[in-house]
Amino acid sequence: MGCGVYDYPASMCATEQKPTILIGRYEFEGPFDRPWDIAERKGVYAVLCLTDGLYELLDIGFSANLRTSLLNHPDQDDWLDAFCGSLVAAVLYSDAMTDDEATLLIDSIERELSRNEF
C-alpha cells in the first residue's frame, strides 16, 4: 500500500487532555511513537505513517496485549518497507471487546476508509 491511500491531517490528532486521532469514525488514543507508551491491554491497534502532516493507515488489528503485539508483530518488516515518514501507532483500548466485536469494528473502519480512497 503506497502513501496517500488513507490520509488524515496531523492536526486532527491533538486534544487538550490526551492525544487522539480519528480513524474512520472511531477515536483512538495516540498516535504513539514509543511502544512503552502503549498499555499492555486488550484492544484494537492501528499502525500509521506520518508524512508531510498526513497519516496513512498501514495496518489495523486486534490483540489481547497491544504493546507486546506491536513490538513482536510479524508484519514489522512490511511496515518498514512501506515506511514513508514517521511510523506511529494508535490504540483503542477495550478490555471487554470480544474477537467478533473487534472484527466488526475493523471491517467497519476498512469499509469506511476504502470508500474514501478516490
Query: Does some domain include residue 41?
Result: yes
Write down the pLDDT at residue 17: 63
Number of domains in the chain: 1
Write down the pLDDT at residue 80: 80
Neighbours of 59 (CB within 10 A): 17
CA–CA distance, 85 with 27 (Å, rounded to integer): 22
Query: Does some domain include residue 107?
Result: yes
pTM across the whole model:
0.80
Write down the pLDDT at residue 4: 32
Query: Does some domain include residue 22?
Result: yes
| Neighbouring C-alpha atoms within 13 Å toward the C-beta of 55 | 25
Using one digit for the tens of pLDDT, what is the confidence trace for 89-113? 999 999 999 999 999 999 999 999 8
3-state secondary structure the chain: CCCCCCEEEHHHHCCCCCCEEEECCEEEEEEECCHHHCCCCCEEEEEEEEECCEEEEEEEEEECCHHHHHHCCCCHHHHHHCCCCEEEEEEEECCCCCHHHHHHHHHHHHHHHHHCCC
Domain that holds residue 25: 7-115
Using one digit for the tens of pLDDT, what is the confidence trace for 24-52? 899 999 999 888 999 999 999 999 988 88
Could you tell me the CATH number of the domain that includes residue 25?
3.40.1440
Neighbours of 13 (CB within 10 A): 20
